[in-house]
Amino acid sequence: MPVTKPTDLTEHSKIHTQKLELRRVNKLLAESVDRCTDLKRQLEIHTAIRAADSKPIRIRPGKRGPKKATTVVALISDWHTCQIVDAAEVNGLNEHNAEIGQERGTKYFIDLARCIKHEQAAYQIDEVVLWLGGDFLQNCHIHDLDSQLTVGISPQQEAGIVAPLLSGGIQHLLKSLDCRFNVVCNVGNHGRTTYKRLTTKQTNYSYEQAIYNSLALFFKDERRVRFDVGESNHKVADIAGFKILFTHGDEGLKGGGGIGGISVPFRRVITASWMPTYGVDFVCIGHYHHFVQIAEGMINGSLVGWDTYAKSMGLAFGRPQQMMFNVDHESKRVGGVRPIWG
């Protein structure tokens, strides 16, 4: 009887390990190709918009009429349009998904147009500032498993929902109102394409910046719409001499756990840093999903509303809302603050 050669387990193990490594490398290569395609698409949009005029918006006071001249400022941020909030997990106090997010976004622009019309009955309003303040996406791919359970689609698919929602809203305002619209754009932390938040080149690595650039191109021939899509994530609008700084709010603020809440670090960063740096009179941010107003600035609410994260952090319940206010050209003051409910 012939003697068979014993199986070389060491050699078999090496071959198996090499196969696993080859599969891993092929997977990384496929992901890298997809990533390069996405970056090439973003670069094409970015290159196209670099030639456009993205100077800081400056609004000059109009001629005095029988009504006081004011400018409306509408804060639009933190929609998390496709985020899933299960009503059962928040004691029935809120519910949200992609369909509800789109309904709330559409309703927001309808209500905003009505509110501005109401203000025009009392004031001369020729200019409106629309602040697109970021976090229109949930983008679960940059977060942990807990966040990944809150949306079931890719950030590219989310962007495909958000972009027409915003463009349709601006078109509705153009049809409904005889005003000029100045759109100030900030990216949020959820729209980024990197796992960690960047301190430089934030706009270059954000799905939201690609959305803003596409909106600017879409409306480039509309004489009543101007976009500020510059690379800085701190934008200043000069409203008849009253200067407002806009930024998403995910940087610069530390603390907020005391009895004064987020208003304490908000006031500190405004007075110690942003006001002396930019020479502004007022600051608007989002990010915290809770409306706060102090003398020096305002924090916008959210349209997604109260969710399991807010509940786990012990944050008080708040209805979905976005804020708007007027800037009086003569007195250089903020007034007429009102919510637009989701």
For 268-295, what is each residue's pLDDT tens digit?
999 999 999 999 999 999 999 999 999 9
Q: How far apart are CA 50 and CA 326, in angstroms?
A: 31
Number of residues assigned to the chain: 342
Average pLDDT over residues 226-236: 95
123 or 260, greater pLDDT: 123
Confidence label for 45 from pLDDT (cuts 50, 70 and 90)? low
pLDDT over 60 (residue 1): no
Count of Cβ atoms closer than 10 Å to residue 318 Cβ: 16
**Local structure of residue 59 (DSSP, 8 states):** E
Q: In what order do the strands lie in the sheet with 58-59?
A: 58-59, 235-239, 242-246, 282-285, 297-299, 292-294
Confidence label for 79 from pLDDT (cuts 50, 70 and 90)? very high
For 140-195, what is each residue's pLDDT tens digit?
777 666 666 788 888 999 999 999 999 999 999 999 999 999 999 999 999 998 88
Average pLDDT over the chain, rounded to an integer: 89
> pTM to 2 decimals?
0.82
pLDDT over 90 (residue 259): no
Strand partners, 59: 239
Q: How far apart are CA 248 and CA 234, in angstroms?
A: 8
pLDDT over 60 (residue 216): yes
Letter string b/e over residues 113-136, b meaning 16 or more CB atoms within 10 A of that residue's CB = bebbeebbeebbbbbbbbbbbbbb
Confidence label for 312 from pLDDT (cuts 50, 70 and 90)? confident
DSSP secondary structure letters along 23-39: HHHHHHHHHHHHHHHHH
pLDDT over 70 (residue 6): no
Q: How far apart are CA 86 and CA 307, in angstroms?
A: 8
